[in-house]
Amino acid sequence: MIRVGIIGLGYWGPNLVRCFSDLENCKVTAVCDQSRDQLLRIKNRFPGVYPVESFDELLDRDLVDAVVIATPTATHFDLAMKALEHDLHVFVEKPLAKTSAQCRKLVEKAGERNRVLFVGHVFLHSSPVKKLKDMIDSDELGRINYISSRRLNLGPVRKDVSALYDLAPHDISMMLHLLGQKPYSVSCSGFDRLNPGIHDVCNLTMMFEGNRMGMVHVSWLDPRKERVLTVVGEKRMAVYDDLEQEKIKIFDKGIDKPASTTGDFAEFQLSYRYGGSYSPYIKEQEPLKAECSEFIRCIVDGDIPLTDGINGLNVVEVLEAADISLRSGGQPVEISQLLEAEQSNRHGVVR
């Protein structure tokens, strides 16, 4: 039985306590938050857990085999590093850390200690994204031209990180996973209205090898909640709307470009395909519960998670490049530039 401790019981942490408590092969033995009120709230709902106010106390008391870190982003690195140094398995909410240099250190430490380092890219464990990935890999959508997404709502507004760091990790993680590669270049523009320097609205563009593109629009300053990801393939197009009952819709639509035989421009004609649409069957499963279960399975089976430290690092590299672009007026930033800048500190993280 894996003993789990959940750190951070604000907005998101209680959901993790509930999901881990529902699993059979683990037990939530401790919870930790600096706020006594948050601790009391959880203690009342889950009387069997041991509440502690300090993370150091949790580590010193030998209460857990694994920790789940659901505190603000700026605290992720220190807490995760301490936990790994105590030989604990670690689940860190997205994003893994603030910088790619920090992510690399965590990846190294997890390897050194032979512990599972798992990142909360929850959508990669969800049934709709698994379905989309299967369809892309089996060529049902054809060659993918681009993926776009909108993650919008009115609030909740963060003061510690921008909408880019808060919301876009979900979309970036899905796009990298679906396309099976990292972008080589990133550009980002945005708008900071509520707190100077903390962008409320961001538009991120990622360029991938093979002339493929990913576009992400995130905002907490929008009248309507939207959670939509569109995959445009040569054969078919797919729309994943996380707020709909039927989450994925496949459209048999496209524009075909016949090869010109003579090179005569007059002969060049686009043919539009206006086929029907359908919603494939998708097994219903709460993504967060699937994610928690996968963390425990990887610990028990000694497997490398899909959302491991390298996966977390790849997403933070995009965020970091996007942030540089955002602060330089939307200039494209090559991901390799980040690596070159970090090279002196690197110790060969390879996958």
Check binding of 233 to ligand NAD (CB under 6 A). Answer: no
Contact 16, 22 (CB under 8 A): no
Residue 91 tokens read as 């689940």
Interaction of residue 90 with ligand NAD, rule CB under 6 A: no
* Structure token digits, residue 337: 């530039």
- How does strand 144-154 pair with strand 117-120? unpaired
CA–CA dist 345, 101 (Å, integer) = 8
Nearer to ligand NAD, 164 or 232 (CB): 164
Distance CA 282, CA 179 (A): 21
Among 35, 279, 328, 337, binds ligand NAD (CB under 6 A): 35
Site for ligand NAD in 313-332 (CB under 6 A): none
Task: Convert residues 275-294 into a mask of x (bound to ligand NAD by CB under 6 A) and - (unbound).
Answer: --------------------
Please answer whether residues 167 and 234 qualify as being in contact, where contact means their C-beta atoms are separated by less than 8 angstroms. no
Q: Give least dist CB 88 to ligand NAD, A.
A: 15
Q: b/e map of 156-184 (b: 16 or more CB within 10 Å)? A: eebeebbbbbbbbbbbbbbbbbbbeebbe
Residues within window 161-180 making contact with ligand NAD, judged by CB under 6 A: 166
- Judged by CB, which is closer to ligand NAD: 161, or 231? 161
The interface with ligand NAD within residues 47-86 (CB under 6 A) comprises 55, 70-73, 75
Q: Tell the smallest beta-carbon distance from residue 135 to ligand NAD (Å).
A: 24
* Residue 52 token pair: 């502690």
274 binds ligand NAD (CB under 6 A): no
Nearer Cβ to ligand NAD, position 146 or 295? 295
Pairwise CA distance, residues 310 & 244, whole Å: 32
What 3-state DSSP class applies to 270? coil
CA distance 351 to 146: 25
Nearest approach in angstroms of CB 332 to ligand NAD is 26
Asked if 254 touches ligand NAD (CB under 6 A), the answer is no
H-run or E-run covering 91:
strand 89-93
Place of tokens 């490398």: 304
**Cβ neighbours, 10 Å, residue 309:** 31
Question: Using the rule CB under 6 A, is 34 a contact of ligand NAD?
Answer: yes
**Total site size for ligand NAD, rule CB under 6 A:** 23
Cβ nearer to ligand NAD, comparing 115 with 125 = 125
Q: Are 34 and 301 in contact (CB under 8 A)?
A: no
Least distance in Å: CB of 39 to ligand NAD?
A: 9
Interface residue with ligand NAD, options 29, 33, 103, 132 (CB under 6 A): 33
CB nearer to ligand NAD: pick between 70 and 188: 70
Q: Tell me: does residue 93 bind ligand NAD (CB under 6 A).
A: yes
Interface mask toward ligand NAD for 111-140; x: CB under 6 A:
---------x-x------------------
Residue 56 structure tokens: 């150091």
When the beta carbons of 69 and 232 are compared against ligand NAD, the nearer one is 69
Query: Which residue's beta carbon is nearest to the bound ligand NAD?
Result: 10
For 116-153, b/e burial (b = at least 16 CB within 10 A) is: bbbbbbbbbbbbbbbbbeebbeeeebeebbbbbbbbbb
- Interface residue with ligand NAD among 8, 254, 309, 312 (CB under 6 A) is 8
Q: How far apart are CA 279 and CA 161, in angstroms?
A: 36
- If binding is defined by CB under 6 A, does position 12 make contact with ligand NAD? yes
Give the footprint of ligand NAD on this chain (CB under 6 A).
7-13, 32-35, 38, 55, 70-73, 75, 93-94, 120, 122, 166
